[in-house]
Amino acid sequence: MSDTHHILWLNFLQLYVSMAGITGEDCFHSQKLPDKLSLHGTKLDLSRCNITKLQPSIFQTYLNLQILDLSYNALEELDFSVFQYIPVLQKLDISYNKLQTINCNTLQYIRGITHLNMSYNYFDTMFLCKEFASLTKLRHLGLSARRIGRHDFLSISHQELDTIFLGLEHLQLYEPGSLQMLNTKKLHVVLPEMLTNSTLLLYDDFNISTTLEISHLQCDETCDLIIGDIIQKSKISNLILRDITIPWNEMGKILQISWHSSVEHLFIYSFTFIKNFNYIPFDFSEGSLKSLTIENVIPQVFLHSSEKHPLTLFSDMIIKNLTISNAELTHLPCPGENNIFQSLILTNNKITDGIFTQCQTLSSIQYLNFQNNILERLSSIASMTTMMKTLKHLDVSLNRLYYDFSATCEWSQSLLFLNLSRNKISDSIFNCLPNNLEVLDLSSNQILSIGKGVTHLKSLKELYLPSNQLSHIPDCGFFSKNLMYLNIDENFIQSPSMEQLTKCQNVKQIIVGNNKYQCNCELKAFISTAEVLQGNLIGWPQSFICEYPQELKGLILKDFHPSEISCNIFILLGLIVGTMVLLLIIMFFLCKYFDVPWYIRMILQWLRRKYRLKNRNNEESIIGKCFHAFISYSQQDYEWVQNSLIPNLEKGDNSIKICHHVRDFIPGRTIIENIINSIEKSYKSIFVLSPNFVQNPIPQYLIPNKYSQLKAVMKRKTYMEWPKEKDTINSKK
């Protein structure tokens, strides 16, 4: 939200402050300010805003409001007419205020209310006026008071509620039978800290509903034994004990009493046991209890002196379902032969690999959960299950499990669901899996790849592999045809191929999003295939995002469209080869036009000559010389050279010997070889630069730039012009 919008909303809420009597600025600077200002939403949270009073106009703009939280404020009185502009209001929480009275005549404005929490206020009595009878849709009611009278609940006695909460920590007076007026499926009572006739209150509690939750049960030595008679004579089937602190042996008594009562399901939450920790003899005959759940145990005593372990009390119970969670449990004895356990949940404890070793009595177990313990050797867990012929579901997630190749790996053949997520499992796990699995969860492990090791899982229907280290989509050809669900979310898959995805087209649901995709040409075919199979790809296209390169990070794969030239190797090669051929052709014509080959040959010959001269001394340079000069001329000047130039140079006395190609070239050799050989055997070379030779007159200013090398030679070397008159010779530099 921008600063401007924030100021506008702040001014808007300050307007409400003036009307509602909000004395502090708690709501202004709270991080949940946007929730409080959702004018078009269905929920408004105004808790902890120090509100002292509400005015009718405050909720005029909240026409769609269904849930309103006004708890933890400072309201002292409440007129329900303030809610007349909220016709669809269903849930109202006004707990933890300072209310002493309410205006009953205005209850008509909340007739559609289903949840009303008025607990923990300053009500002296729990009397509900007759107007509460108009709240026909009310299903959940929360109340608190210092005194409870026999007729306090008369107005709602004809209504069957789902839940009634009674916060009775500060109850001072209770009239016996008062709670008998209530008609509810579940009653939750927080016991008073001090009440002389608490037994009568408990008696009424246990005879109102089928589900009873009791909180804040505490005793140091011996709890009131009459609770046994109360439970045994009650009609409750679900008993919930929360936030209790009692000696271990008193807990045993409650379990024994519940065993011989109508209670079928017993839940104990936040249990602190004190004083002692010894085995408690137990009578398991004629019990109706089907399940026991104990969570969040805080033991104050750890050592025991009894011959039998105290926890044998639980392992010997003849019940179908046992849950002991977050109890610092390190061990549970093997159950007796008469056990009927179908479900054992021992999560969030400190159980080790030795659990149920060689235990042959769990013949009816179907569900076993060891989540979040300190199990390490997978082979030990596998061996444990071989004795459990009916086990179908095993959860050993969030442990320290690994598989050692050298260990034997045998599983119960009845196992259908196996959860090995969040362990230290590597690729070797596929050599240690039950054959008949239908659901396998290997999430959050260290798996790099999946090979042929999965081919023996013929019944596999669901495979979970998110948050591993996979670099490509597994080859679905290795999987059973029964595989319907494959999850490889959040791995290291960067460039999945079209072939890999096509092989998985028979899998009805594939989750392969949230990987680190490298958006390049290799991904183009995959994207096209994904568009075709998008009905199978869960999360397409929203969860398929480019991670690399950096300039494409955050781009949805569906919107990635690389050019055809950059991705088609044949087009790219054709373009490169065509360009090279064109350049070669252009270079060829340029070279032809500017006589580049001639200049190159000249330079090479010159370099070669320089090299030879550099490596020869004067004596060596004389050795092998057969001619004083080699003469080069245009063929059109042959007559002049033959009849005039050579005779004048040689003079007939052999003092100067000229190399002339007509008489001195060696037959059988190429012209180039003869020219080079003649130049090397001659001290000098004579070039007859006639008009026929250069096709132009000899003066430098008339020599075309094309013959720049010739110009350079004429600047550095001495040459002679043959005179028209025989007796005149001009020498120039």
Residue 647's pLDDT is 85
How many other β-carbons are positioned within 10 Å of the β-carbon of residue 350? 12
For residue 733, give the 3-state DSSP assignment: coil
pLDDT in tens, 633-664: 888 888 888 888 888 888 777 788 888 888 88
Residues 500-509, buried b or exposed e (16+ Cβ, 10 A)?
A: bbebbeebee
Residue 492's pLDDT is 94
Q: What angle do CA 724, 729, 730 make, to 5 degrees?
A: 105
Residue 729's pLDDT is 46
Residue that is written with structure tokens 């009307």 in the block: 19
How sure is the predictor about 711, in pLDDT bands with cuts at 50, 70 and 90? low
For residues 89 and 35, give the distance between their C-alpha atoms in angstroms, rounded to a whole number.
Answer: 17
How sure is the predictor about 27, in pLDDT bands with cuts at 50, 70 and 90? low
* pLDDT of 479 above 80: yes
How sure is the predictor about 683, in pLDDT bands with cuts at 50, 70 and 90? confident
For residue 317, give the 3-state DSSP assignment: coil
For residue 297, give the 3-state DSSP assignment: strand
For residues 85 and 420, give the distance between their C-alpha atoms in angstroms, rounded to a whole number.
Answer: 54
For residue 498, give the 3-state DSSP assignment: helix
* pLDDT of 332 above 50: yes
Residue 266's pLDDT is 95
CA-closest candidate to residue 142, choices 109, 103, 186, 95:
95
Answer whether 488's CB lies under 8 Å from 466's CB: yes
What whole-number percentage of the chain has pLDDT above 70? Answer: 84
pLDDT in tens, 525-558: 888 888 888 888 999 999 999 999 899 999 998 8
Highest mean pLDDT pick, 230-244, 273-287, 357-371? 357-371
How sure is the predictor about 590, in pLDDT bands with cuts at 50, 70 and 90? confident
pLDDT in tens, 319-329: 999 999 999 99
Residue 37's pLDDT is 43
Q: What angle do CA 290, 294, 299 make, to 5 degrees?
A: 145
Highest mean pLDDT pick, 98-102, 418-422, 584-588, 603-607? 418-422
For residues 542 and 514, give the distance between their C-alpha atoms in angstroms, rounded to a whole number.
Answer: 9
For residue 375, give the 3-state DSSP assignment: coil
Q: Hey, what are 443's tokens?
A: 């999430």
For residues 523 and 450, give the distance between their C-alpha atoms in angstroms, rounded to a whole number.
Answer: 21
For residue 675, give the 3-state DSSP assignment: helix
* pLDDT of 677 above 90: no
- Average of per-residue pLDDT values in the chain: 83
How sure is the predictor about 178, in pLDDT bands with cuts at 50, 70 and 90? confident
Answer whether 491's CB lies under 8 Å from 470's CB: yes
For residues 325 and 395, give the distance between their C-alpha atoms in angstroms, rounded to a whole number.
Answer: 14
* pLDDT of 378 above 80: yes
Answer whether 429's CB lies under 8 Å from 447's CB: yes
- Ranking 257-266, 351-360, 480-489, 649-658 by mean pLDDT, the lowest is 649-658
How sure is the predictor about 613, in pLDDT bands with cuts at 50, 70 and 90? low
Q: Hey, what are 340's tokens?
A: 């009927």
* pLDDT of 298 above 70: yes
**What is the average per-residue pLDDT within 47-51?**
92
pLDDT in tens, 429-475: 998 999 999 999 999 999 999 988 899 999 999 999 999 999 999 99
Residue 127's pLDDT is 87
CA-closest candidate to residue 465, choices 519, 410, 506, 425:
425
* pLDDT of 236 above 90: no
Residue 423's pLDDT is 97
For residues 378 and 376, give the distance between their C-alpha atoms in angstroms, rounded to a whole number.
Answer: 6
Residue 228's pLDDT is 61
Longest dimension (CA), the chain: 163
CA 470, 475, 481, 483: dihedral to nearest 10 degrees?
10
For residue 78, give the 3-state DSSP assignment: strand
How sure is the predictor about 604, in pLDDT bands with cuts at 50, 70 and 90? confident
For residues 517 and 549, give the distance between their C-alpha atoms in angstroms, rounded to a whole number.
Answer: 9
* pLDDT of 363 above 50: yes
Answer whether 379's CB lies under 8 Å from 404's CB: yes
**What is the average per-residue pLDDT within 55-63?**
81
Residue that is written with structure tokens 């019940």 in the block: 319
pLDDT in tens, 549-574: 899 999 998 898 887 776 777 777 87
Reported pTM: 0.72
Contact partners, residue 497, CB within 8 Å, separation at least 6? 472, 473, 522, 525, 526
For residue 217, give the 3-state DSSP assignment: strand
CA-closest candidate to residue 291, choices 252, 259, 260, 336:
259
CA-closest candidate to residue 368, choices 379, 354, 356:
356
Answer whether 45's CB lies under 8 Å from 22's CB: no
* pLDDT of 22 above 70: no
How sure is the predictor about 412, in pLDDT bands with cuts at 50, 70 and 90? very high
Highest mean pLDDT pick, 386-390, 602-606, 608-612, 704-708? 386-390
DSSP track, 119-139: -SS--SB----GGGGG-TT--
Residue 724's pLDDT is 59
How sure is the predictor about 198, in pLDDT bands with cuts at 50, 70 and 90? low
How sure is the predictor about 230, in pLDDT bands with cuts at 50, 70 and 90? low
For residues 53 and 21, give the distance between their C-alpha atoms in angstroms, rounded to a whole number.
Answer: 5
How sure is the predictor about 20, in pLDDT bands with cuts at 50, 70 and 90? very low
CA 538, 539, 541, 546: dihedral to nearest 10 degrees?
-110
DSSP track, 336-382: PTT---SEEE--SS---TTTTTT-----S--EEE--SS---BHHHHH
Q: Hey, what are 82's tokens?
A: 């303030």
User: Between the CA of residue 733 and those of 368, 427, 631, 698, 717, what are the distances in Å?
Assistant: 112, 90, 20, 13, 6
**What is the average per-residue pLDDT within 43-63?**
87
For residues 519 and 403, give the distance between their C-alpha atoms in angstroms, rounded to a whole number.
Answer: 36
Residue 244, beta-bridge partner list: 217, 271
* pLDDT of 5 above 80: no
Residue 33's pLDDT is 35
